[in-house]
Chain A
Amino acid sequence: MDFGFTKEQESFRQEVRDFLEKKIECGAFEIISNGWLENSSQEFSKEMSERGWIGMTWPKEYGGQERTYMDRAILMEEMLTCQAPIAYHFLADRQVGPAIIHFGNDDHKKEYLPKIINAEISMVLGLSEPNAGSDLVSVKTYAKEEGDFFILNGQKVWTTGAHRADYIWMIVRTDLDAPKHKGISEFILDLKTPGVTVRPIINIAGVHSFNEVFFEDVKVPKENLVGVKNRGFYQLMAQVDYERAGLERLMQNYPVFVNLVEYVKKEKRNGQPLSKDPMVRNTLAELEVEYQIGRLFCYQVAWTLTQGRIPNYEAALCKAYCTQYEQRLSDAATRILGLYGQLMPGSKWAPMNGEAADSYLWSVSYTLQGGSLEVLKNIVATRGLGLPVAKK
């Protein structure tokens, strides 16, 4: 056992920190919760790309750096600490790239990987549909084979960032007769293809973050199918462990915590700093302990991946735990601020720029996106602990 970082890891962390400090100094971005997901800047992504920080774990033959998942976790921890604007490349870097490396053919790899690494294209995930949320095998969007093309019809929903992305990575039905999970394939599709319509959905924080995406007789070239036809669901299951593993599930509202600690030190109640109130101290210390536990969970997953192993239940456990922590954080923040806890960003009198209230709204989504809390617990119980699966 060893809970330290190597010299190389420490100096890498420092390198990332120095880079970010300069960026913040020159006002390149603001430190706001959910920035990793909402703040998209191709320019910033390109600067990361120049430093080899996109696709950094990928094989060198595709332009990657073959660095460890530990290094990637360190990079992410620093990026998330200040909520750097990494949304442009984030999903492609975390998920689509590795999926292409695992399941794509040479043409896919040559076509997409360099563009992802160079921050030339942005990608989003089209998995969920109106009637396929947790029960993803029920997707109905259908790709019908016709000559050299598939003709795509149907709808995706909750597609985060589709309004600003170039490509969508999706699962669609390719066999109507096979059992549900044996008739799904994975596709990559240019969102500018004729017949694709992206329609905004406004979330409860008042933000246009996710979308509906409609497909009407969209002609998809056959080579856009990635992996084996009708094996898409199994391919996807192998990919989500990467999706679930990251520090981005612990640190989405990290600035709230930092600002809250500063706030209670300065703010006075009855002539005393709020930080001297035993309730406040206990609450913040509890959050800190919980945060540090979550951090260990995340690094444990990164360590497992670095060993070349796929996390078993750990990734699901990590996300289940960490997102609940984020929810407790935003709730505690609003309570500690008292009446001011209801004030939204931009409001007169809003402490911490209204981030507590804002994050309280966003936090609803934390335990849903990327696999709901309950579904993750199911995975821990059945896959991790070997508890029996109920017969339907």
Chain B
Amino acid sequence: MDFGLSEEQEILRKSTCNVMEKECPPAFVKETIKDEKGYSPELWRKMAELGWMGFIFPESYGGIDGSFLDFTILLEEMGRACLPSPFFSTVILGGLPILEGGNEEQKDELLPPMINGDLILTLAITEPPGKYTPDGIGSRATKSEKGYILDGTKLFVPNAHIADYIIVVARTKDGVDADGITLFLVDAKARGVTCTPLLTIAGDKQFEVALDKVEVTHERILGDIDKGWHIIEKIWPKVIVAACGEMVGGAQQTLKMTIDYAKEREQFGRPLGCLQAVQHFCADMVADVDGCRYITYQAAWMLSEGLSCVKEVAMAKAWCSDAFKRVTKQGQQVHGAIGFTEEHDLHLYYKSAKKWELLYGDSWFHREAVAEQMGL
């Protein structure tokens, strides 16, 4: 075992952290969240130049073939900065299914521009039932002359308004099972696609994507007909651990802000941090944050090593969902009223923790997976 970062990992962490501190300070985050686009094309370009979009993609597509473990470090720093960007939806929700399920032409066509920062992607999986399981997929794909016609309502689709392609998860066979689900690469500007923004707690851009007789050609089918859920299952552990990576960073930053504040804010003639109630809040936060870190990196390491880790992945998201949220709640308490102001930065994390808790399964959902793994 080795709980520390290697020299290269430390360099990666530091350099990513430096970029984020310079390019993505809290003022930028707040401004960008309010902006309709929800991201900065200039920063997006810089991220591409730094090789971030291609971090876990093969060199043959212009990537750098980095490990998923190292990638998690990158995500942690993004989470620490609360970076508003289509990175997660493009690279993880979009790039990974293409890499996993796409044919050679699709990969050659889509991955290099994605890696160069010229393509924004997203995944439309959830629907009104709000579930990440096959029984939550009801959108229909009906066979036509040229390919398929898509109908249905997709919900909580990140960055649909700026995406070039939306990977739509739809049914090619009736039922509630995984069998009969197919993935389609839908041009976001195609006729019949309507994106309506949702107002989210963290201000990230999520959409209702209404599909009304949207035509897709055979070339735009991703993977095998009826077998699309296999692709989702394949990438899902990475989606979850990537989310946890962002949560580790957010939790760490919340802790840091809280400790800094407790040292500097004075009441009764001495710093708040002298007060034992406050000290114990902070000590509890450390257990939460360190726990997030170890359980997440354990799962990321196992994914990197190609080890089976269904339980570890579920444990990571179960813990991070609860712990990050607890940390932000405690942080708010220690900050007092100033933390309740829009002007302060703490709320970015309070909101972000709620967002990440609910996305990709909360602790109830993942504890059920853990229970199953325990043989219950």
Interface residue ranges of B319-374 to A (CB < 8 Å): 319, 363-364, 367-371, 374
Chain A residues near B163 (CB, 8 Å)?
none
B276 contacts partner chain A, Cβ-Cβ < 8 Å: yes
> Which chain A residue lies CB-closest to B309?
A3
Nearest CB of chain B from residue A194's CB, rounded to whole Å? 44
Chain A residues near B275 (CB, 8 Å)?
390
Contact present for A3 and B287 (CB under 8 Å): no
Contact present for A317 and B370 (CB under 8 Å): no
Contact present for A388 and B1 (CB under 8 Å): no
The complex places the Cα of A382 from the Cα of B374 at a distance, in Å, of 38
Contact present for B263 and A281 (CB under 8 Å): no
Contact present for B274 and A378 (CB under 8 Å): no
Nearest CB of chain A from residue B19's CB, rounded to whole Å? 22
Contact present for A2 and B315 (CB under 8 Å): no
Chain A residues near B283 (CB, 8 Å)?
317, 320, 376-378, 380-381, 384-385
The complex places the Cα of A5 from the Cα of B307 at a distance, in Å, of 13
Nearest CB of chain A from residue B366's CB, rounded to whole Å? 8
Interface residue ranges of A281-330 to B (CB < 8 Å): 281-282, 284-286, 288-289, 292-293, 296-297, 299-300, 303-304, 313-314, 317, 320-321
Question: Of the candidates A2, A292, A377, which one forms a contact with B279 in the assembled complex, judged by CB atoms under 8 Å apart?
Answer: A377
Interface residue ranges of A233-264 to B (CB < 8 Å): 261, 264
Contact present for A261 and B376 (CB under 8 Å): yes
Question: Of the candidates B259, B305, B368, which one forms a contact with A282 in the assembled complex, judged by CB atoms under 8 Å apart?
Answer: B368
How many A-B residue contacts, CB cutoff 8 Å?
149
Question: A351-390 vs B: 1/0 string, CB under 8 Å?
Answer: 0000000000000000000000010111011101111111
Chain B residues near A299 (CB, 8 Å)?
1, 3
- Interface positions of B (Cβ within 8 A of A): 1-6, 9, 69, 259, 262-263, 270-271, 273-276, 278-280, 282-284, 286-287, 290-291, 294-295, 297-298, 301-302, 305, 315, 318-319, 363-364, 367-371, 374-376
30 A-B pairs with CB atoms under 8 Å apart are A2-B1, A261-B376, A265-B376, A278-B368, A282-B364, A282-B368, A284-B376, A285-B369, A285-B370, A285-B374, A289-B319, A289-B370, A293-B295, A293-B319, A296-B291, A299-B3, A300-B294, A303-B1, A303-B3, A320-B283, A374-B276, A377-B279, A377-B284, A378-B276, A378-B279, A380-B283, A381-B283, A387-B274, A387-B282, A389-B274
Listed from nearest, the 9 A-B pairs whose CB atoms lie closest are: A381-B279, A285-B367, A387-B273, A380-B283, A377-B283, A285-B370, A281-B371, A296-B294, A390-B274
- Interface positions of A (Cβ within 8 A of B): 1-5, 70, 261, 264-265, 275-276, 278, 280-282, 284-286, 288-289, 292-293, 296-297, 299-300, 303-304, 313-314, 317, 320-321, 374, 376-378, 380-382, 384-391
